């Protein structure tokens, strides 16, 4: 335990390389006093802004707000990144304690009438203040943020909004911790050759490594990490074991015990509806989408239904084909959700002459990381220099300095690629520090977190093509943070509309399939031979082989999300019944389950960043499909002029301008939605 007289490293000046948190010097018990001190310092800064006798100006109000809270932001980013990637019981206890405190602090800012009055005066006079376009934008975003958080309401309504936010913070933390507990608690132990039937070597190796990590040498383990369970469901010929694993996977957060999330969902949904009503909206979905590209839930629903209909038709036809394959193999039982991936793989292997495990040896993790770096170099002129002497938070984490084409240091990139019990599931991008120029040339520290299966010592991690696509997706988010070139922190990097934030990530995925990338970096991990052109062509041909399934399992989530958040206040909500009735109205195919069922739908209920906004992946897909079409029309996936506009108006621009304007500045016009249907194979390109 650190000496109480020793300065808290979280509050001291960091002299570490690149300004990294001093991970080796930080003890978990130092976070509560660091939060306490940082919160007090921020309150003093805010009180000084609100109490000044000077007339409101951009400098003494907006810039002062932007300069405030730096210590708190640094402490919070460090803590919550660690809570997501390397947690334990002590960190989780602090997380439960601090979440409502931070929510209360945030409410106090946005509901400070003195601050709002100053911002309102500036907002009303903004066009006569001789401000730059970026200054006008940050002022407008501050005003919108205050209004949407209740600053214009009367005191009782503001107090109630504050109480709602605190309670939601507590519930969201509990939801996430319950989900992690369920994931940690389950393993499917495969004992002997009979349990391994059908599994190719790369799946067996990953399962053996997972078993060894749990002290089960000589056995194999399937976990609830997507990179573990999906390959098992795809290749295992043991239907009984597939059913066991699948049932556990879709039942996370629905145990009936202490980690059951259904009552939490009920309360969160009711609180969101109440919040929306207090702010003058008919539903939480209307509130959330009023400040988005879509503008309204009706517009988002229109897009989703335009895709749902052809996707469902395709999925139903596919289900009939897979049922026939199952019958040919001697199965007379109806196709069930734990069968789909297995028989879809049988069909894909037969139709496109692809053997199980044929692709993975050509996609070692290191090769795919280099492929992502090379793509960023060709598009944007970036170099990634390995940093092997940094003290990071876990031995698996790797670091690269990012250098621009002119030799200037752009930022630091961290990669945390392997699953472990202390890490929450999924894949994401985050920041330990965001870019800005207000306090000097502050360069970002950006991290990508994955949950790939860790290989045995001395062996490479081999990725499936979907895993490689996930790596490119998250690296697209990372580039959005690394290339950010704005003055004000409020506008930096990924601080954009939710239905625009997925454009940089989903767009970057397209380059994975380019022959210039695959032929150079998809190399057999033993022979170093490049992936054969014939295999590349078969991969591309198979891209939409199961697109009906993929689109249905995603779109069902987005539609249920919006329908749930269109509800008025409903304290008696039974989420299980709501889910089943919603899917019945949609005509959900019986052999497909939502990609994320509500009890473990972290996008919606663990912090709620995507609540009433899960549609945004598809909204952004309209943009990314249309955006990459520009490179196809140019005949060069690395067209320099297009890449320059893409960097300037999308990856580097942060939230300097409304997203529709940013897209038009890159593309030269609004997006054409037909590109989405063509990309998913539901519409032949013209």
Place of tokens 């007379």: 332
CB hemisphere CA count around 592 (13 angstroms): 31
CA distance 224 to 230: 9
Residue in 580, 595, 539, 609 with CA at minimum distance from that of residue 176: 609
User: At 493, is the secondary structure helix, strand, or coil?
Assistant: coil
**CA dist list (Å): 242 to 3, 10, 329, 378, 402:** 52, 46, 16, 43, 43
CA distance 331 to 320: 14
Residue in 670, 666, 668 with CA at minimum distance from that of residue 644: 666
Contacts of 147 (CB under 8 A, 6+ apart): none
Query: Nearest 5 degrees, angle CA 154-CA 143-CA 432?
Result: 115
Residue in 626, 612, 581, 664 with CA at minimum distance from that of residue 300: 612
β-bridge pairing 409-418 and 428-433: unpaired
Residue in 549, 543, 546, 535 with CA at minimum distance from that of residue 353: 535
Query: Nearest 5 degrees, angle CA 620-CA 624-CA 627?
Result: 135
Is 311 in contact with 681 (CB distance < 8 Å)?
A: no
Is 434 in contact with 481 (CB distance < 8 Å)?
A: yes
Contacts of 11-16 with CB under 8 Å at 24 or more apart are: 11/37, 11/38, 11/71, 11/75, 16/391
CA distance 637 to 511: 8
Q: Give the tokens for residue 231.
A: 């390959």
CA distance 417 to 452: 6
Q: Give the tokens for residue 323.
A: 């049922």
Place of tokens 């369920």: 182
Residue in 125, 116, 8 with CA at minimum distance from that of residue 65: 116
Positions marked active-site = 474
Contacts of 534 (CB under 8 A, 6+ apart): none
**CA dist list (Å): 284 to 291, 427, 576, 677:** 12, 27, 20, 29
CA distance 261 to 176: 9
Contacts of 668 (CB under 8 A, 6+ apart): none
Report the first-to-last Cα separation within the chain, whole angstroms: 67
CA distance 570 to 576: 14
Residue 190, beta-bridge partner list: 220
Q: How many CB atoms sit inside 10 A of residue 323's CB?
A: 18
Residue in 439, 417, 431 with CA at minimum distance from that of residue 483: 431
């Amino acid at each position: 335990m650190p000496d109480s007289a020793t300065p808290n490293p979280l509050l001291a000046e960091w002299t570490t390389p690149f300004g990294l948190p001093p991970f080796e010097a930080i003890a978990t018990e130092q976070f509560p006093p660091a939060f306490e001190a940082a919160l007090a310092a921020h309150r003093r800064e805010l009180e000084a802004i609100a109490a000044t006798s000077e007339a409101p100006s951009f400098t003494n109000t907006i810039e002062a707000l932007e300069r405030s809270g730096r210590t708190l932001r640094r402490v919070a980013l460090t803590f919550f990144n660690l809570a997501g990637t390397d947690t334990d019981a002590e960190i989780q206890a602090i997380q439960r304690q601090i979440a409502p405190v931070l929510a209360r602090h945030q409410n106090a800012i946005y509901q400070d009438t003195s601050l709002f009055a100053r911002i309102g005066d500036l907002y009303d006079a903004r066009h006569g203040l001789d401000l730059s376009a970026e200054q006008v934008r940050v002022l407008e975003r501050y005003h919108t943020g205050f209004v949407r958080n209740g600053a214009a309401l009367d005191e009782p309504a503001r107090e109630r909004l504050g109480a709602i936010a605190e309670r939601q913070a507590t519930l969201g933390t509990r939801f996430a911790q319950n989900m992690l507990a369920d994931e940690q608690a389950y393993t499917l132990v495969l004992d002997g050759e009979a349990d391994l039937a059908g599994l190719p070597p790369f799946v067996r190796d990953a399962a053996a490594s997972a078993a060894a990590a749990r002290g089960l040498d000589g056995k194999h383990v399937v976990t609830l990490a997507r990179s573990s369970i999906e390959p098992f469901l795809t290749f295992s010929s043991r239907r009984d074991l597939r059913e066991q694993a699948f049932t556990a996977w879709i039942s996370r957060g629905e145990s009936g015990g202490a980690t059951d999330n259904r009552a939490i969902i009920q309360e969160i949904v009711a609180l969101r509806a109440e919040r929306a009503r207090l702010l003058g909206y008919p539903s939480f979905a209307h509130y959330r989408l009023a400040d988005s590209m879509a503008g309204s839930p009706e517009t988002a629903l229109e897009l989703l239904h335009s895709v749902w209909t052809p996707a469902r038709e395709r999925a139903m036809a596919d289900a009939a084909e897979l049922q026939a394959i199952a019958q040919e193999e001697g199965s007379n039982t109806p196709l069930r959700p734990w069968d789909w991936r297995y028989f879809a793989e049988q069909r894909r292997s037969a139709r496109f002459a692809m053997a199980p495990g044929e692709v993975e040896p050509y996609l070692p993790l290191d090769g795919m990381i280099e492929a992502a770096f090379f793509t960023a170099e060709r598009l944007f002129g970036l170099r990634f220099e390995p940093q092997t002497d940094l003290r990071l938070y876990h031995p698996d984490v790797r670091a690269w300095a990012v250098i621009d084409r002119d030799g200037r240091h752009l930022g630091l990139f961290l990669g945390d690629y392997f699953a472990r019990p202390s890490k929450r599931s999924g894949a994401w991008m985050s920041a330990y520090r965001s870019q800005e120029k207000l306090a000097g040339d502050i360069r970002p520290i950006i991290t990508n977190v994955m949950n790939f299966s860790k290989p045995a010592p001395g062996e490479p991690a081999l990725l499936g093509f979907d895993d490689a696509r996930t790596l490119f997706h998250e690296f697209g988010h990372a580039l959005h943070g690394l290339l950010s070139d704005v003055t004000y922190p409020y506008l930096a990097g990924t601080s954009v509309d939710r239905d625009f934030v997925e454009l940089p990530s989903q767009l970057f995925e397209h380059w994975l399939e380019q022959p210039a990338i695959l032929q150079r970096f998809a190399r057999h991990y033993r022979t170093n031979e490049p992936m054969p052109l014939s295999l590349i062509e078969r991969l591309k041909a198979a891209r939409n082989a199961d697109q009906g399934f993929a689109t249905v399992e995603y779109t069902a989530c987005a539609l249920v999300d919006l329908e749930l958040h269109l509800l008025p206040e409903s304290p008696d909500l039974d989420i299980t019944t709501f889910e089943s009735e919603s899917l019945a109205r949609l005509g959900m195919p019986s052999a497909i389950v939502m990609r994320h069922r509500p009890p473990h739908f972290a996008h919606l209920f663990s912090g709620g960043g995507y609540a009433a906004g899960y549609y945004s992946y598809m909204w952004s897909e309209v943009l990314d499909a249309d955006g990459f079409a520009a490179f196809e029309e140019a005949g060069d996936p690395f067209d320099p002029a297009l890449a320059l506009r893409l960097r300037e108006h999308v990856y580097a621009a942060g939230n300097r301008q409304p997203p529709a304007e940013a897209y038009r500045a890159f593309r030269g016009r609004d997006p054409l939605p037909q590109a989405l249907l063509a990309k998913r194979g539901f519409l032949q390109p013209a």
